[in-house]
Amino acid sequence: MVLATLRAALAATAFLFTGGAIADSPRHVDELLHKSGIWKQAGDLPGQLKAGAEEAREKEKASGQPATMTDAEYSRLVAAMARAFSPDRMRRIVAREIERNLPAADEAQVLRFLSTDLGVRATKAEEEASDPATVARMRGEVDGFFIKVPGARVAKITRLAQAFKAGESAASMMIDMAAAVAYGAAVASPNGDERVARDLRRKFEERRGELTDTMNQQLTKVFAYTYRSLSDEDLDRYLEFAQTPAAQHFTGVTIKAFDIAFQEGGLELGRYIGREAGKNGRSS
């Protein structure tokens, strides 16, 4: 239902959310992951990260500046990223958090919408947008596409992005993951200092508002591109659903679930970076 770029859940169980009723209610979390597109989006994540790393590597080479790592070190880093953010890890964590924190009644309502024609088409558009090849193509096309979108449709897209808490959730996940990587590197490196991670988070927090605004602007363009196959009427109906209590709860739980998954992956990646720094006699 929501893009992968949009997902630290509360430590409550599903039992607490439903006063015990959920114990007698069948759960359909696996079906929810598939019908919402989360299953595919989590599977696409390693490819997206690899593509981003390759782009950064090419820019570094083109700059003429000395490389920050050898080809062998770069290959090991990409492999470590793939392990830290593997589809199995992301799917397992997100499924766990959704099952713990989303009441069965809300799950059922979301599944009903996702099983409709519009729900299926919206999920298909979101899954396509998470494909690494589409992400790469989107970077070159999204700005040119967006300037041609009528103002009335931009307004609909903006409200949809707001309903999905796009900017604020993306900013939070970026901050939390960066801090987790820094912390993992600090604790795994012989010369690491946890204060580095705390200082990094503080600096990010100081810019949270600016980062949220930037992400809102960019993700509005991404949403416009992603949902280009949906009619204005479709967008109205999708927004109507997105604003229901069940959809809002699902969005919030999913965002927090992905946040936890990114933090856990970030910690693992950071520990790898810290160990590598220790092997090479460098501080983190």
Encoding tokens for residue 39?
């299953």
Q: What Cα–Cα distance (Å) separates residue 86 from each residue in 7, 50, 83, 170, 176?
A: 16, 12, 5, 19, 18
Query: Do 60 and 67 touch, CB atoms closer than 8 A?
Result: yes
Q: Is the pLDDT of residue 173 over 80?
A: yes
Q: HSE of 77 in the Cβ direction (CA atoms, 13 Å)?
A: 22
Residue with the bigger pLDDT between 135 and 9: it is 135
159 alpha carbon, distance to own chain's centre: 19
Mean pLDDT lowest for which of 55-59, 74-78, 150-154, 257-261? 55-59
What is the mean pLDDT of the segment spanning 245-273? 94
What is the mean pLDDT of the segment spanning 67-92? 91
Q: Is the pLDDT of residue 24 over 60?
A: no
Query: pLDDT-based confidence at 25, cuts 50/70/90?
Result: very low
Q: Is the pLDDT of residue 252 over 50?
A: yes
Q: Is the pLDDT of residue 187 over 70?
A: yes
Query: pLDDT-based confidence at 17, cuts 50/70/90?
Result: very low
Q: HSE of 165 in the Cβ direction (CA atoms, 13 Å)?
A: 18
Query: pLDDT-based confidence at 8, cuts 50/70/90?
Result: very low
The pTM score is: 0.83
What is the mean pLDDT of the segment spanning 35-52? 90
The burial of 57, by beta-carbon neighbours within 10 Å (0-12 exposed, 13-18 middle, 19 or more buried), is given as middle
Count of CB atoms within 10 A of residue 168's CB?
18
Mean pLDDT of the chain: 86
pLDDT for 229 equals 96
pLDDT for 59 equals 86
pLDDT for 26 equals 53
What is the mean pLDDT of the segment spanning 180-204? 87
Residue type (1 letter), 91: R
What is the mean pLDDT of the segment spanning 80-109? 94
pLDDT for 9 equals 26
pLDDT tens by residue, 214-238: 999 999 999 999 999 999 999 999 9
Q: Report helix angle 245-279 to 166-188, nearest 10.
A: 30
DSSP string, the chain: ---GGG----S--HHHHHTTGGGGS---HHHHHHHHTHHHHHHHHHHHHHHHHHHHHHHHHHHTSPPSS-HHHHHHHHHHHHHHT-HHHHHHHHHHHHHHHS-HHHHHHHHHHHTSHHHHHHHHHHHHHHSHHHHHHHHHHHHHHHTTS-HHHHHHHHHHHHHTTHHHHHHHHHHHHHHHHHHHHHHHSTT--HHHHHHHHHHHHHTHHHHHHHHHHHHHHHHHHHTTTS-HHHHHHHHHHHTSHHHHHHHHHHHHHHHHHHHHHHHHHHHHHHHHHHHTT---
